[in-house]
Each structure stands twice: as C-alpha cells, then as structure tokens.
Amino acid sequence: MKPLVAIYGPTHTGKTDLAKDLYSRFPSELISVDSVQIYKGFDIGSNKPDKKELQEYPHHLIDILEPNEIFSVGDFKKRSIKILQDADKQSKLPIFVGGTMMYFYSLLEGLADLPERDDLIRTELECDLETFGLDYLFKRLKDLDPEAALVIHQNDSQRILRAIEVCLITNEKFSTIQKHTIKEEILKRKILTFAIVPQDRHQYKIELRERFKLMINRGLIDEVRGIRDRFSKNLSALKAVGYKQCLDFLDGKIAEEEFLNNAVNATYQLSKRQITWLNKLATTKIFQKNESNKVIKIESFL
C-alpha cells in the first residue's frame, strides 16, 4: 500500500519544520492544509513560508487564489486527490501539513457527497444576507435543520449559506446528508497521521503572544489594511484568527493592546479546538512539541 503522511495539530508547534525535515529525507510532495495560506497576500497573519523557503521546500495549495475567490472543503479534497495521483505516478511520498482540521477530516475520514453549488439559490441567499443580516439566515437554518445549526457557528456565514443552499437543493437536511460519506479508492493506502501538541500550555500561550508581536512588527497591520482597501473587509479569510482582530483595530473598535490580547486569546482558543479534533481522527502518534527525534520515529513507521 502506498503511504500518505499527515502532520497536523495546533498552530506554532513545529509542523512545517517537521514536514521540511521529511521532505529532505524522502522524494516527496508537500501539500499545505491551511484555509488562509491558499490566498495570495495573506502572508504574515497566516505565518506563510516566505518565498525563499517555498523555493527550497515547494508546497502545493499555497498562493493559489485571489482573496475574493471562494475555496470550499470539497475544493480542497478534489485538488488533493489530483496531487496524490500525480505523486503516485512519480513514486513520491505525499506529506500533508497544516492546521485546518476540517480539511484533514474530509480527506482522511471522507466527505459527504453534497450537490454542486446552485448559482441562482446562492444569489438569492446572498441578497437575503445583505438585506436582512446573518442572524436572519441563521434562524432560517435552525428552522430547516436544527441539528446543523447546533454545529455551525452563528457567525460562520459561508457554512450557513452552504447548509441552507443544500437543504433547498435536495429538500433534505444538510446534517443528514453529511452523515453519508464517501471514500475514494485512491485513499485506500497506508495512512500515517502525526499530531504535535503543546507540552506546557502556559509557556505555549507566552510563545503565541511573542509570535503575534513579531507579526505586528513585520507589518501585519499594513497587510490587513492593504487587503481591506483593495478588496473588502467582508472577505471570508479576514474572519480568520489574527486577521479579524486586526480588522477590528483598523476599524477603531479596539485599541492596539486589546487587539494584541484578543488575537492571542483567539489563537489559543483555536489551538484548543484543533486539539479537540484529534478525537475525531485516527492518529498514528501524538508528539509533544519539544519531543526529540520526531523524524526518526516517523521513519520507523514508514
């Protein structure tokens, strides 16, 4: 069976460095699993590898879209399967690395066979969103599919729109359809999954604060201002952790110190959710962040 390696877990735990070490040891393909790094211009806040790093360690699915383009979980899976097929032809090891756990789940555990997007229904829903607001649409989702409304956040406009759209297209509940998943033959392979988690949560939060200060010093505020001015402050990617708090600061809603505190707290909460995802995935081995010899231990599985 052909192997597939997945490296996931919370932000700032050394996932990319581990993937690069494996890339240096094996003929392989690196595939980014990050819902923000796919967008051009979202560099500092997403902690995207710089150009020099990407030349030395090329990643698929980085800088593939303009900020105003839409990219779904289904799009990630389709592109990933194509990359897997190409890697197989070249006898290369696919290494998926990142922290967008829903993407990993869709790839490794299967994704519901959802209908294609309906432009007419979507346009009508987007008009409702603009006219009546997101609360109105969330209440509509509750009426159509109470179970879906329990797991979709009330501020997640993209998933709310998609869930309602699927309900209207199929005349079935979105949550019901999601329970019927599909797995492609190509994924019947030796799947090796490795998580990296913080060793000391208190120290980890201190490190997150220092990292975010560094992002600000590197020009995060200018990055967000440029994206907002060129496109719109309503971009889905600007709702990501760090970007959302920076946008609040630029809009004058919060002061700079509050911006920093909010961003660090939001990142820490995100890391806790990423760890919770490990309960849904069959993980081969969980490493502590500071654990030594990770590459050698992974090689033993390969």
Average pLDDT over all residues of the chain: 92
For residue 217, the model assigns a pLDDT of 97
For residue 28, the model assigns a pLDDT of 97
- CA 148 to CA 163: how far, in whole Å? 8
| Percentage, residues of the chain above pLDDT 70 | 97
- Given a cut of 70, whether residue 89 has pLDDT beyond it is yes
Per-residue pLDDT tens for 170-208? 999 998 887 776 566 556 788 999 999 999 999 999 999
- Given a cut of 80, whether residue 222 has pLDDT beyond it is yes
**Which phi and psi (to 5°) does residue 26 adopt?**
-130, 145
Collapsing DSSP to helix, strand or coil, 49 comes out as: coil
Per-residue pLDDT tens for 114-166? 788 888 998 999 999 999 999 999 999 999 999 999 988 888 888 899 999 99
| Domain 201-271 class in CATH | mainly alpha
Q: Domains of the chain: which residue ranges?
A: 3-110+183-198+281-301, 119-178, 201-271
User: Would you say 105 and 283 are in contact if contact means Cβ atoms under 8 Å apart?
Assistant: no
| Domain 119-178 class in CATH | mainly alpha
Q: Is 187 left (phi over 0), alpha (psi -120 to 50) or beta?
A: alpha
In the chain, where does DSSP find H-type helix?
15-25, 51-56, 73-89, 101-109, 119-132, 134-144, 146-151, 157-170, 174-178, 201-218, 220-230, 243-250, 256-276, 294-301
| Helical (H) or strand (E) element with 34 | none
- CA 284 to CA 279: how far, in whole Å? 12
Length of the chain: 302
Residue 167 CB burial class (10 angstroms; 0-12, 13-18, ≥19): buried
For the segment(s) 3-110+183-198+281-301, the CATH number from 3.30.70.420, 1.10.10.10, 3.40.50.720, 3.40.50.300 is: 3.40.50.300
